[in-house]
Amino acid sequence: MNTYSLTREDVYSWKTELYNSDLQTQRREQAMIGLSLVNWATVRFSLMPSQVTYLNALPPEFIKILQADLIEAINHHFDIILEKEIRPFSNGSGPEDSVKVTETRKKAAASASYQPEGSDPLPLGSDSTMNGELVVRIYYKDA
């Protein structure tokens, strides 16, 4: 797979390339995410040193949740969206006047397929589908 910039558009391109790849490639991506989110992110995305430092500083509990959410999203081909805010300019008081926050929002819903009477049975496993999205949001708030 390619290396991408950490932008909304490139996250979309990564997701599209991944979902169009074979199942083995998707499983390898999930395994990389499961082993180390930070290592996967540095391989998959062109990150600045400050971004790697920020990733390393995230709480381990949050990393585990994000890993599980990404693996689930890939497994069900959910939409994966990056919402990344640009750091606001300070009024000369320095970078301490805002704090970088990362959060995720996940929506998932199952929908059952309708099979009319007298029709051929649906293939095994196709009686329901999962629809959803995973939004990773990075923004700044006042300290």
Strands 128-142 and 98-112: antiparallel
pLDDT level of residue 123 (50, 70, 90 thresholds): very low
Neighbours of 43 (CB within 10 A): 12
**Full domain range(s) for residue 69:** 4-87+94-142
Rounded-to-integer distance, Cα 112 and Cα 109, Å: 10
pLDDT level of residue 138 (50, 70, 90 thresholds): confident
Question: Tens of pLDDT along 22-61?
Answer: 999 999 999 999 999 999 999 999 999 988 998 998 899 9
Query: Is residue 83 within 8 Å of 139, Cβ to Cβ?
Result: yes
Neighbours of 114 (CB within 10 A): 8
Count of domains in the chain?
A: 1
Question: Tens of pLDDT along 67-77?
Answer: 999 999 999 99
Q: Is 33 helix (H, G, I), strand (E, B) or coil?
A: helix
